[in-house]
Structures are given as C-alpha cells and as structure tokens.
Chains A and B, each alone.
Chain A
Amino acid sequence: MNRIAQGLTLVLLGAAALTSTVPTDLYLNWVKAGFGPFLIAAGVVMVVLGVLVVVAEVRGEGDTSKEEEVAPATVAMDASGRNTGEVHGHDEGHDGHGDDGHDHSRAPWVAWLLLLPVLAVFVVAPPALGSYTVESTGGSAGPPPRDEGRDSKFNDALSEAAPGEAARLDIQEFVMRAWIDDEREMADREIELTGFAVPNEEGEGWYLARLQMACCAADAVVNKVLITDEPAPETDSWWTVRGTWVEPEGDLYDVSEHEFATEEMEEVTDPPDPYE
C-alpha cells in the first residue's frame, strides 16, 4: 500500500466516523452515546492526517514536508528541497529513504482492511441489534449474585414516583427488581416499559425486549419480559406498554421469566438510542 493509498484510506475512515456521528445518529446503533465526541475527534484527526500525507506525497516530498518551517532546516538538502525549490535534491532524499526504509513508508496488505469499516458504514449501515440477537441468545443472563448486604433502595423511577403514579422503567430496571427486590415494591404499581417485540418460539405470548450495552454492541446483554395477554405484534416493532408486574409465587430468585400484564400498549417510532 503506497502513501497515497494510506492517506486516502485514512480520509475515508475519518469520513465514515464523522458521517455516522455528525449528520446522523448511526453510531448509536453500535456504541454508547458517550463515544460520540471521541469518535468525532478521532474522525477529524484521521481526515487531517490523511490529507497531510496525501498533500506531502503529491508535492513530491518524501518524508520532508511542508511543516519544515516548524523547525529550522538543519540539513542542506532540506533547505534546497523546500516545496517548489529544486526537486532534484529532494527526490534523492526520498528515494534514498525508500530503499532502506521500505518497511516504513509502505504499509502492509492488512492495512487495506481498514476500508472494511468504511464499507460497513456506507454500504451496509448496520442497524441496531434486535430480535435476532434476543432469539439466538436464548434465555436471559440470569439473576445477579444475591447480595444480602445490598442497599435495598433502588435508584429508579419507581422509587421516585408518587404512589398511584405510573413509573417509567428501563426493562433492565424492571427485570432487576423482579429478580432481587424482596420487598416486592413493584406489586400493583402501574409501570411503563419501552422495547421491541420478539416472538416466543417455545411457548405462548411474546417478549418485549431491550438490549443493555456497557460499551459497544459486542457486549450487549438481553433483558426481556413476557407478555401473554396481547396478540404478538410484528417482530422488531417498538412498543410502549403500560401495565403491572405479574407477581410470581415463591422465591423471586428462582423465576426464569418475568411476566407483565398489559393494560394498554402503543406503537412508537424507534427511540433515538436503541439500547439501554
């Protein structure tokens, strides 16, 4: 891969990072929202670096470049080869370098693979993970380790909502409470959840699911609730459901699926951030 190709690859890669963050919200399909500013910064750096490399190369400057003025030229060859000057001396410098340092100015074939993310962004534009991931992951991750010393307070909308008022919870928060809240504070409270529909292959009803992400889609964890009292909507369509927790009998910890009794449900356009 020669230097022009390297420079252009960097420009395209930076453009991909910028396209998915600035004019669109595509990046939210892949990484946490907090990555946005860092992706923009990385994109700008790559575009600038790529342009500098291409400019330096088409001007026929090998490793000596237009930033010469930053430091005083210490070698006569540099001074004579300044941009428009005698290109002769410059070329010798470049080729002499190319011979002993080929490893350095040419990148290995594997660098072409940097075009794959570019291709992915511009051609495929991968959507957020959805029902396929939920179905192929099978059961939920299981309850978190039981911790007797845990502070019984939950920091979610339910603990703040006034009694009788509907609380809007993340599905993750709902599942967490359904598993470990021995006080059963959720019982008989009106709760609102938002997620996408996933058919239940093994039994009746369907799941309202949402993926929880710590950093990027590679670490996504499935959270889902079972709904049996409404007909299954179209797979991957997004819904906000209002209803109550179906309180299980016995030890909460042994529950494998959390059921939800719906009172009303309403289709929503995709929320801007598909993950919790």
Chain B
Amino acid sequence: MSERTTHESAPSSSLGDSLARGWDDRGDELPPADWGRRPGARRTGTVWLFALIITAMAFGHAWFSDELTGQAFLAWATIFTAISFQAMPFLVFGVALSAALVAFVPTSAYRRFIPDKASYAVPVAGASGALLPGCECASVPIAGSLIKRGVAPAAALTFLLAAPSINPIVMIATAVAFAGQPEMVLARFTASLLASVVIGWIWVRFGRTDWLRLPSQSTTPGASSWQVFRESMLHDIMHAGGYLVVGALAAATLNVMVPREWLLTVAEAPILSVLVLAALAILLSICSEADAFVAVSLTDFSPTAKLAFMVIGPIVDLKLIAMQAGVFGWRFVVRFAPLCLVVGLLSTFLIGALIL
C-alpha cells in the first residue's frame, strides 16, 4: 500500500516523519484502495504544485520584472495591489474577530444584548455599528458569524451596513476631509444609519432565510475553542479573501479605464449627477475610511451627489458584492445589493434635501 503513487517512491519506513506516516496509515486503514489513495496523492500533488508556483515566480521575478513596462498595465497592477493590501489588515482583523465571536463567546451572550424581536434588534444593531472601527471588508465575515450565532439575519445585515458607514474612524475621516462643513458629517451619519435600519426592517418584513446560504456550523464535537477559532478563520479568509481579490480586479480595471473627464460632463445635472456618483462609488470600491477624501475632490458635483458617493460606497460596491457572494451566496446578493442601492439613494435624497 505504501507505493501507491509515483511521488512516494521511497519506502515509507525510511521516512520517519509524521508526514509519511499519516499518509500510510490512512491508506492502510481505509477499505477501498481508491479512498486512501486520492487524498494522499492529491496532497503530494498540491505540494508539488506550490513548489512549481514558487519556482515559476522566482524565474518570473528574475526574467520578466524588468520587461513589464506597459504603463497602463503597471498602473492597473499598482491599483490592484493597493486595493488588496489596503483591505488585507481589515480582512484579517474582521476574520479574527468573527472567529473569536464564534469560538469564545457563548450564544447566550447575544441573547442578553440583542432583543429577541427582530424589529427591535434592527435599530440596536444599527446603533452598535457605530462602535466597530473597520471598513466593509471586516464587517462581512462578522455579520456571517453573527447570523450563525443565532442573531436575527435582519439585525446582522443592518450591522453589516452600519458598521462600515458610521463608525468613529469613518466619521473622523469625513470631518477631516470636509473641514468647515460639519453638516456633511451629520448628513452622512443620518443618511447611512437611516438606510441601514430601513433595509433591516424591509428584510424583517420580506426577507427569507433560504436566500442566505451559510455554511453549516461544522463544529466537531469535542473540538477545542482554539480549533474552532482556527477553522473559522481559515474558512472566512478563503471565502471572503478570494472574492475580495475579484472585487479588487474589477475595481482596478474600472479605475484605470474610466476617464474622470466623462464624469465631469454630467456634474451639472441635478439628479443624474447623484446617480453618477453613486455608480462611481459602486465601481471604484474605495474603502469607506478613504471615500470622504475622494468625495471632497469631486468638486464639480453638488453636496447631495457627494453624499450619495459616501452613503452608497460602504453599502454597495463591487468588492463588497463579491465578498457577500462568497459568504452568503449569489441568491442573497441579487436581492440584497439592489435593495441597498435603492434605499441608500432614497435616504440620500431625503437627507440631502433636509440638511444640505
């Protein structure tokens, strides 16, 4: 049984390490030969594949790095890397926090803090979004783990929307960017919180649980908290992280390809300009902690249009859509993203008319 594959040509007895022993024992114990063979061969294959990838990267680094001179390509690569790296600490932080929620906080703790009735839980969740400093990359996995822990989906989704929109860091960034315009900070806070809570209530009324695809909580009985923590973190990084890269690819492509002058031609039209900046927020996928600085630089647009940019960006954007698809599934995203967009825009127009 030990010479099952060509890769493992050496007799297992000579390999004293636990690695080989693990494979051999597995093969010996499983009745059909095929079952034992596949995981072992696949694992060896995986290791070879990564060895190949690393070697290829080394050659690529040596040979191609200086050849890559296309200006547009390099600008694209810079923006792609920038979005990925900027989101990475937030992703790791969010994933660690959500894994800690799953592994170390007992379910009863949530019962105590969050009202049972979903329609009361929604505003509580919205307000508590103001406490978590982080951007949208962090809040997606956290919302996922809240739902897994029995928090009403509508409340968890409200938290998902509110946390990146109204947390203290975002508010400070907005105040710094719009120095001398405190009404913009107030408008952003109100419009974002209003949109999050209304979306939560709409979800309470019309949302269906089967639209949400959450992985079954596969806590092995007897697994220690640290194992649960590790497994939960791995799972979330792989899902949310993979889609984060998809979002970064799309956003970098649009960032390089859509010339800003196109935008300026529509800046004068009252309603259209709001829609254009909302669309720009979706496409650019800028982190919610930075979007105020971009909004303030779009000087030709009306204050309401800038507000739309800052209200829509944290609740709907390409990166977020891709990450939500990874955590909750596409059936959820095709309903949730349009809902967020419509409610976010209505809230923007309302608050814009009242405050700005």
Contacts and interface: CB of A to CB of B under 8 A. Distances in A.
Interface of A: 1-10, 12-13, 17, 20, 27, 29-31, 35, 38-39, 41-42, 45-46, 49, 52-53, 56-60, 62-65, 67-68, 70-71, 73-75, 77-78, 83-84, 87-88, 91, 93, 95, 97, 100-101, 103-105, 107-108, 110-129, 131-133, 136-139, 141-145, 147, 149-150, 214-219, 221
B286 interface: yes
Contacts of B30: 91, 95
Contacts of B237: 10, 46, 49
Interface stretch (B124-132, B193-201, B292-300): B292-300
B328 interface: no
A58 B18 contact: yes
A104 B216 contact: yes
A29 to B, nearest CB: 6
B299 A113 contact: no
Contact of B238 (A111, A115, A221): A111
Contact of B71 (A117, A132, A218): A132
A63 B227 contact: yes
11 contacts: A2-B39, A6-B238, A45-B92, A60-B23, A63-B218, A64-B227, A117-B81, A124-B77, A126-B78, A132-B74, A216-B287
Contacts of A95: 30, 35
Given A101-B216, A145-B299, 10 more contacts: A31-B86, A68-B224, A100-B218, A110-B243, A111-B242, A114-B245, A117-B85, A124-B77, A127-B74, A215-B293
B96 A45 contact: yes
B60 interface: yes
A219 B22 contact: no
Contacts of B297: 141, 221
List 3 tightest A-B contacts by C-beta distance, closest first: A215-B290, A60-B22, A214-B293
Contacts of A64: 220, 222-223, 227
A75 B222 CA distance: 5
Contacts of B177: 214
Nearest to A53: B234
Nearest to A38: B89
B259 A214 contact: no
Nearest to A62: B220
Contact of B225 (A60, A71, A97, A123): A71
Interface stretch (B247-255, B331-339, B344-352): B247-255
B355 interface: no
Chain B binding surface, main DSSP class: helix
B229 to A, nearest CB: 9
Interface in B258-282: 259-261
* B: interface residue count bin: 35 or more
B57 A17 contact: no
A46 B93 CA distance: 11
Contact of A58 (B22, B221, B248): B22
Which of B53, B85, B224, B256 has most A Cβ within 10 Å?
Answer: B85
A120 B299 contact: no
A18 to B, nearest CB: 11
A128 B78 contact: yes
Nearest to A141: B297
Nearest to A136: B259
Contacts of B220: 62-64, 93, 97
A78 B222 contact: yes
Contacts of A65: 227, 230
Given A87-B26, A119-B57, A123-B65, A5 B50 contact: yes
A147 to B, nearest CB: 5
A152 to B, nearest CB: 12
A5 B180 CA distance: 51
B175 interface: no
Contact of B230 (A53, A145, A219): A53
B255 A5 contact: no
Contacts of B256: 136
B147 interface: no
B47 interface: yes
B37 to A, nearest CB: 14
B79 A108 contact: no
Given A45-B96, A123-B60, A218-B252, A60 B26 contact: yes
B289 interface: yes
A169 to B, nearest CB: 19
A71 B263 CA distance: 58
A273 B85 CA distance: 16
Contact of B81 (A3, A67, A120, A150): A120
A114 B241 contact: yes
B226 interface: yes
A181 to B, nearest CB: 15
Contacts of A221: 293-294, 297
Nearest to B325: A110
B88 interface: yes
A126 B78 CA distance: 5
A4 B85 contact: no
B293 A87 contact: no
A42 B92 contact: yes
Nearest to B243: A110
Contacts of B243: 110
Nearest to A128: B78
B157 interface: no
Given A65-B230, A110-B243, A113-B245, A121 B326 contact: no
